[in-house]
């Protein structure tokens, strides 16, 4: 996993690996260290390594040719290389896209985000990536039901690409990032389950969309108790 | 309205998005030069056959889900006609 958000490094804290960083992406492309020295092994997951972004530089510290070379080198060692792309459509985006073979576009069901996603899909296509799939994040089924949030069908209809998954809004995400423990390790988290399903789809499995009705909350249990669904 | 159904804001979002993306994808804005050039060209063609007034003439791109069933995107030109010009044929 490569964090390409140079200057705004975050994957390290989200994964709880912040204390183990010695070298970063910029050190690798500038030849300050060897690639293997910069890779941080995540001891909880067999085969998962993080290449962290530099925190004190900016996006211009890396160029697309260097990213292509870096990814080619990583391909010798790894089956999947996840490139975390920064926000925006400038140099950081161009760097991330340069080394990518396919893409997952992450959006939330809001007007501004969906508009930006459409633009990103267009730019990916211009860069030769036509098989981008959509991940709809922070979905709130209760709001969709009330007619106050764009539903999945609407979002897919507007953007016109295939779906890789839907992640429901989940308070446990904050807990997970507070602790530096990935949400996929939390069995009872709906978002965690959604992410595990997405991983299986990336691996080529045909996994149906899960039900988003939270049946673990107090309200839902109360409803069950009184015979509601 | 007090007991009526509240407007679904997600439907409003959907319609607004569809429209804005038409222009985003075409690289135009609803008030851009492209639309103005198109308006002038269409006006020029139509005025060969009909007596029309340019200031009454309106061209826009919209989603027609409200008018026709398909929900497709269409270019509409709203052209009030004053009279049909005699084209020199079929004289009575």
pLDDT, one tens digit per residue, over A119-170 is 999 999 999 999 999 999 999 999 999 999 999 999 999 999 999 999 999 9
Instruction: Say yes or no to pLDDT of B58 above 90.
Output: no
User: Both ends of chain A: CA-CA distance in Å?
Assistant: 41
Instruction: Say yes or no to pLDDT of A192 above 90.
Output: yes
Q: Say whether A111 and B13 touch across the interface (CB within 8 A).
A: yes
Residues in chain B: 92
Overall average pLDDT of the B13-37 stretch:
82
Which residues in chain B have their CB less than 8 angstroms from residue A147's CB? 6, 8-11
Q: Say whether B8 and A147 touch across the interface (CB within 8 A).
A: yes
Check if the interface score ipTM surpasses 0.95.
Answer: no
The fraction of chain B above a pLDDT of 70, given in percent, is 72
pLDDT, one tens digit per residue, over B29-55 is 766 677 788 888 888 898 888 888 888
The fraction of chain A above a pLDDT of 90, given in percent, is 91
Residue A223, pLDDT score: 62
Task: Give the global pTM.
Answer: 0.79
3-state secondary structure of A143: helix
3-state secondary structure of B77: strand
pLDDT, one tens digit per residue, over A79-131 is 999 999 999 999 999 999 999 999 999 999 999 999 999 999 999 999 999 99
Q: Where are the domains positioned within chain B?
A: 30-84
Fold of A102-229: Rossmann fold (3.40.50)
Q: Using an 8 Å Cβ cutoff, are A3 and A51 in contact? A: yes
Torsion of CA B53, B62, B34, B44, to 10 degrees: -30
Residue B84, pLDDT score: 77
Instruction: Say yes or no to pLDDT of B69 above 60.
Output: no
Instruction: Say yes or no to pLDDT of B1 above 50.
Output: no
3-state secondary structure of A127: coil
Count of beta carbons in the 10 Å neighbourhood of residue B44: 10
User: Whole-number mean pLDDT of chain A?
Assistant: 93
Q: Where are the domains positioned within chain A?
A: 1-86, 102-229
Q: Say whether A119 and B24 touch across the interface (CB within 8 A).
A: yes
Q: Which 8-state DSSP code applies to residue A136?
A: E
The pair of three-digit structure tokens given for residue A96, joined into one six-digit string: 């991330």
Q: Using an 8 Å Cβ cutoff, are A55 and A7 in contact? A: yes
Size of interface A-B (CB pairs under 8 A): 35
Kindly state the greatest CA–CA separation across chain A.
65
Residue with tokens 């990032």: A177
Confidence category of residue B73, pLDDT binned at 50, 70, 90: confident
Separation of alpha carbons A86 and A119, rounded Å: 15
In angstroms, what separates the C-alpha of B54 from chain A's closest C-alpha?
Answer: 34
Separation of alpha carbons A44 and B13, rounded Å: 42
Q: Which residue has the higher pLDDT, B3 or A18?
A: A18
Which residues in chain A have their CB less than 8 angstroms from residue B11's CB? 147
Q: Say whether B21 and A148 touch across the interface (CB within 8 A).
A: no
């Amino acid at each position: 996993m490569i964090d390409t958000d140079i200057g705004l490094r975050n994957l390290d804290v989200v994964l709880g690996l912040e204390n183990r960083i010695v070298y970063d992406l910029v050190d690798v492309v500038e030849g300050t260290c060897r690639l293997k020295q910069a890779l941080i092994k995540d001891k909880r997951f067999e085969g998962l390594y993080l290449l962290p972004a530099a925190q004190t530089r900016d996006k211009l510290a890396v160029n697309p040719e260097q990213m292509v070379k870096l990814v080619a080198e990583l391909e010798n060692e790894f089956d999947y290389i996840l490139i975390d792309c920064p926000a925006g459509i400038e140099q950081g985006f161009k760097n991330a896209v340069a080394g990518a073979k396919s893409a997952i576009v992450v959006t939330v069901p809001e007007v501004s985000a969906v508009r930006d996603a459409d633009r990103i899909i267009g730019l990916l296509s211009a860069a030769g990536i036509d098989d981008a799939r959509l991940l709809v994040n922070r979905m709130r089924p209760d709001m969709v039901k009330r007619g106050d949030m764009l539903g999945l069908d609407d979002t897919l209809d507007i953007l016109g690409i295939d779906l890789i998954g839907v992640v429901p809004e989940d308070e446990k995400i904050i807990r997970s990032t507070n602790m530096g423990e990935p949400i996929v390790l939390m069995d009872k988290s709906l978002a965690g389950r959604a992410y595990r399903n997405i991983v299986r789809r990336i691996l080529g499995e045909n996994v149906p969309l899960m039900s988003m009705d939270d049946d673990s909350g107090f309200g839902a249990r109360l409803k069950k108790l009184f015979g509601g669904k | 309205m007090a007991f009526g159904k509240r407007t679904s804001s997600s439907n409003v979002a959907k319609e607004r998005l569809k429209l804005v993306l038409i222009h985003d994808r075409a690289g135009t804005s609803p008030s851009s030069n492209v639309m103005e050039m198109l308006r002038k060209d269409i006006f020029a063609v139509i005025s060969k056959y009909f007596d029309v007034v340019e200031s009454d003439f309106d061209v826009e791109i919209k989603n027609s889900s409200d008018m026709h069933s398909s929900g497709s995107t269409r270019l509409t030109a709203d052209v009030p006609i004053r009279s049909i010009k005699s084209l020199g044929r079929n004289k009575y």
